[in-house]
């Protein structure tokens, strides 16, 4: 009899031990008994006979595939690094449905487009060595510098060798446009995988890539988990984007996980951005990553110098529209060009308040203000709770209830009055909720069936629209004072990404107008991608001075409980255990234990939320410390849970 550790898709801290009459292979997918049912498991390793009774494995028959050692080692690393059960990590690699043996043949799409690279692009391609095993590259190119063409040229070389590549994007909103471009270049060799596809579409795409029918996999985080053995290149576009970090359940960072996968598979990886993350810039400085800088746009067009409008001096109706932006919108529409207005807030207004007593209308389930939608409705963007705006304040019975702030809904409504003949498009999560609506919205812009686009961050990331010549940023101040040490970094990155959507063609007169109530803010002096190095240098120095990431490692314990008292008690215990272990283990004496304290949003969906944050010195192994705390905590009380967030991006 042989004995094996088997990882199963359940929230277990360790693999389970089973017996088998036959010798199994590491990475083999098998069926095992689990209580009164069968479960799919994966063989991790053979172990000596344990001193307890074991169940025998049900079935060692043929399954779809066997995971190779490099890929399984990667999944083990993810489980250990991000402190998430190995069986659940492994479960991420499986397609959602079984293979469908009889599939309709897909229409053959031949390649129909090639590109002539500029000398600068050719040099970038030459500098990326696909033959040297593992090597990481940071491709730092201004918006419009043709990074996508560089990626495609690299994939062309990979395909020519009969190998495969993975192209990670930060947002689903980028997928339709990128998919079109890649299909034009590579025809049927492209697979797409993302959450807005049906389960059958994802399964078919997964098998096409696994079996080598396609050679390029495009998609956001989840597309990284298709376990093909033939991958020779990984590209992570817009690598700085926080959406690469999953913030629910399995709290991994796809960019960092991709770097580890490339290292284990001994293949090159390219991280691309116009505004790189400080983590990647630090790796470049420490010679852990090769650096490729492109400062010229493909058409050598000059970037429009942003005009900063001080809204404290504007007294117009509507309150959010300056006279200069209004005139510019009129001019660009008259020239048959398109205009985009960026406002990172959905709804009509951000909140309502009683003018007489100051009553703020809060969600009954969350500690957040309700957002105004459709002028008359209040909604919570966290739990979905909604109610009508009352005619009178429930606190003082005053009828003076005023809407405060601005949302995309109100902007659209006002534009209908100001520009009655303009064709308007709202580009946000309220308007676009599935892949068909997204594809239609992008086609509407590309085919010039709209004149003014009003959008949230969905329009900021990587989209390329030929006729877009005016970008207006409304309420630019909203992210500056966010309680986050990354606030300035995120604000400038987002603003530069937004500005990069206009003037992407040769001899195209483009214009950028930014409306703010704090025109003296230092970010406005860095609104040039060529000055991003100056900004990042100064900010990285501050991070080092105050020992913030990337010069330290952060791990957050998030405690959620239905009872505020229970949540507080658990948080106190977490902090107590952390401080005790810090004293017991001298090597961790420099670790900072911050908290316990309520989360910045103390309640969501009727759960009270508390945090304990650990700051480890750079280079110190956090896994050993966190694992010990997790073991000591044991199973949390009923109606409460503890999640561990390694390298948190959002601490709200």
Query: How many CB atoms within 10 Å of residue 542?
Result: 11
Q: Do domains 119-294 and 307-350+405-541 have the same CATH topology?
A: yes
pLDDT of 615 strictly over 90 = yes
Residue 376, H or E segment: none
Among candidate residues 139, 148, 209, 213, the one with its CA nearest the CA of residue 178: 148
Q: Which residues are CB-neighbours of 436 under 8 A, at least 6 positions away?
A: none
- Give me the mean pLDDT over the 215-237 stretch: 94
pTM beyond 0.95: the answer is no
* Residue 171 binned pLDDT confidence (cut-offs 50, 70, 90): confident
Domain 2-91 has CATH 3.40.1440.60: yes
Residue-wise pLDDT for 292-315, tens only, equals: 999 888 766 666 788 999 988 888
Residue-wise pLDDT for 535-585, tens only, equals: 899 899 999 988 999 999 999 999 999 999 999 999 999 999 999 999 999
Among candidate residues 549, 558, 552, 547, the one with its CA nearest the CA of residue 612: 558
CB 158 within 8 A of CB 130: yes
Helix and strand element counts for the chain (H, E): 15, 27
Among candidate residues 36, 260, 297, 295, the one with its CA nearest the CA of residue 134: 260
Residue-wise pLDDT for 405-419, tens only, equals: 788 888 999 999 999
Among candidate residues 5, 3, 14, the one with its CA nearest the CA of residue 631: 14
Tokens of 362: 């809060």
* Residue 446 binned pLDDT confidence (cut-offs 50, 70, 90): confident
Domain ranges of the chain: 2-91, 119-294, 307-350+405-541, 552-646
pLDDT reported for residue 485: 82
pLDDT more than 90, % of the chain: 56
pLDDT of 435 strictly over 90 = no
pLDDT of 163 strictly over 80 = yes
Residue-wise pLDDT for 46-97, tens only, equals: 999 999 999 998 766 656 678 989 999 999 999 999 999 999 999 999 998 9
Tokens of 309: 């409008």
Tokens of 469: 């010549």
pLDDT reported for residue 348: 72
pLDDT reported for residue 310: 92
Residue 581, H or E segment: helix 564-584
Chosen CATH of 552-646 out of 3.40.190.10, 3.30.70.1290, 3.90.1150.10, 3.30.70.600: 3.30.70.600
CB 351 within 8 A of CB 390: no
pLDDT reported for residue 294: 93
pLDDT reported for residue 527: 83
Tokens of 162: 């009969």
Q: In what order do the strands lie in the sheet with 377-379?
A: 371-373, 377-379, 386-388
DSSP 170: S
pLDDT reported for residue 432: 83
The domain defined by 119-294 folds into Rossmann fold (3.40.50)
Q: What is the spatial distance between Cα 137 and Cα 288, in angstroms, rounded to a whole number?
A: 9
Cα 330–Cα 336–Cα 341 angle in degrees, nearest 5? 55
Tokens of 651: 């601490």
* Residue 590 binned pLDDT confidence (cut-offs 50, 70, 90): very high
* Residue 508 binned pLDDT confidence (cut-offs 50, 70, 90): low
> E-assigned strands of 71-186?
135-141, 164-168
Residue-wise pLDDT for 98-156, tens only, equals: 887 667 666 677 777 777 899 999 999 999 999 989 999 999 998 888 899 999 999 99
Helix, strand or coil for residue 125?
A: helix
pLDDT reported for residue 498: 83
pLDDT reported for residue 405: 74
CB 330 within 8 A of CB 388: no
CB 22 within 8 A of CB 56: no
Q: What is the spatial distance between Cα 539 and Cα 577, in angstroms, rounded to a whole number?
A: 33
pLDDT reported for residue 185: 92
Using CA atoms of 616, 619, 624, 625 in order, give the dihedral in degrees to the nearest 10: -10
Tokens of 227: 């376990």
* Residue 358 binned pLDDT confidence (cut-offs 50, 70, 90): confident
The b-or-e profile of 186-210 (16+ CB within 10 A means b, else e) is bebbbbbbbebbeeebbbbbbbbbb
* Residue 205 binned pLDDT confidence (cut-offs 50, 70, 90): very high
pLDDT reported for residue 525: 84
The packing angle between helices 532-545 and 487-499, to 10°, is 170
The domain defined by 307-350+405-541 folds into Rossmann fold (3.40.50)
């Amino acid at each position: 009899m042989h004995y094996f550790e088997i990882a199963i898709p359940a929230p277990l801290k360790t693999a389970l031990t089973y017996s088998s009459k036959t010798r199994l292979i590491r990475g083999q997918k098998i069926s095992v008994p689990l209580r009164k049912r069968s479960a799919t498991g994966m063989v991790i390793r053979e172990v000596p006979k344990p001193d307890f009774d074991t169940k025998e494995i049900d079935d060692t028959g043929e399954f779809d595939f066997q995971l190779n050692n490099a890929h399984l080692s990667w999944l083990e690393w993810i489980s250990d690094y991000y402190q998430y059960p190995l069986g659940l990590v492994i479960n991420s690699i499986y397609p959602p449905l079984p293979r469908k043996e009889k599939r309709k043949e897909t229409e053959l799409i031949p390649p129909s487009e090639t590109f002539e690279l500029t000398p600068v692009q050719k040099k970038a391609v030459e500098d990326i060595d696909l033959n040297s095993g593992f090597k990481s590259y940071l491709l730092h190119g201004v918006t419009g510098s043709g990074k996508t063409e560089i990626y495609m040229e690299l994939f062309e070389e990979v395909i020519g060798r009969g190998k495969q590549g993975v192209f990670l994007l930060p947002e689903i909103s980028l997928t339709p446009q990128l998919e079109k471009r890649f299909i034009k270049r590579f025809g049927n060799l492209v697979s797409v995988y993302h959450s807005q596809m049906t389960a059958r579409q994802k399964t078919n795409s997964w098998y096409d890539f696994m079996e080598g029918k396609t050679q390029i996999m495009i998609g956001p985080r989840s597309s990284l988990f298709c376990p093909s053995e033939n991958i020779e290149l990984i590209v992570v576009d817009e690598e700085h984007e926080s959406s690469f970090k999953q913030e629910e359940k399995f709290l991994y960072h796809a960019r960092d996980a991709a770097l580890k996968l490339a290292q284990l598979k001994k293949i090159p990886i390219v991280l691309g951005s116009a505004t790189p993350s400080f983590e990647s810039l630090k790796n470049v400085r420490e010679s852990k990553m090769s650096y490729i800088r492109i400062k010229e746009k493909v058409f050598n067009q000059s970037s429009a110098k942003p005009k900063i409008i001080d809204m404290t001096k504007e007294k117009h109706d509507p309150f959010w529209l300056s006279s200069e932006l209004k005139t510019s919108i009129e001019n660009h529409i008259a020239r048959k060009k398109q205009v985009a207005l960026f406002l990172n807030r959905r709804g009509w207004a951000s909140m309502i308040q009683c003018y007489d007593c100051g009553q703020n209308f809060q969600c009954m389930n969350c500690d957040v203000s309700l957002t105004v939608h459709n002028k008359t409705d209040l909604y919570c963007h966290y739990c979905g709770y909604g109610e009508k705006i009352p005619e009178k304040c429930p606190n003082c019975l005053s009828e003076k209830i005023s809407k405060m702030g601005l949302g995309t809904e109100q902007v659209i409504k006002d534009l209908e009055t100001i520009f009655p003949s303009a064709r308007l498009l709202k580009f946000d999560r309220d308007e676009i909720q599935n892949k068909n609506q997204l594809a239609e919205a992008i086609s509407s812009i590309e085919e010039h069936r709209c004149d003014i686009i009003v959008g949230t961050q969905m329009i900021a990331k990587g989209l390329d629209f030929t006729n877009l010549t005016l970008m207006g940023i409304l309420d630019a101040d909203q992210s500056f004072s966010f309680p986050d040490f990354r606030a300035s970094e995120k604000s400038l990155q987002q603003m530069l990404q937004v500005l990069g959507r206009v003037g992407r063609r040769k001899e195209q007169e483009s214009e950028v107008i930014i409306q703010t109530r704090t025109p003296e803010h230092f970010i406005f002096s860095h609104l040039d991608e060529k000055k991003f190095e100056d900004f990042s240098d100064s900010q990285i120095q501050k991070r080092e001075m105050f020992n913030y990431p990337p010069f330290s490692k952060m791990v957050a314990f998030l405690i959620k409980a239905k009872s505020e008292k229970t949540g507080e008690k658990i948080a106190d215990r977490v902090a107590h255990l952390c401080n005790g272990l810090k004293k017991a283990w001298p090597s961790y004496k420099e670790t900072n234990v911050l908290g316990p304290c309520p989360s910045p949003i103390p309640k969501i969906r009727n759960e009270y939320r508390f945090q304990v944050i650990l700051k480890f010195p750079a280079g110190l192994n956090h896994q050993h410390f966190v694992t010990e705390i997790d073991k000591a905590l044991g199973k949390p009380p009923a109606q409460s849970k503890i999640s561990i967030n390694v390298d948190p991006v959002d601490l709200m």
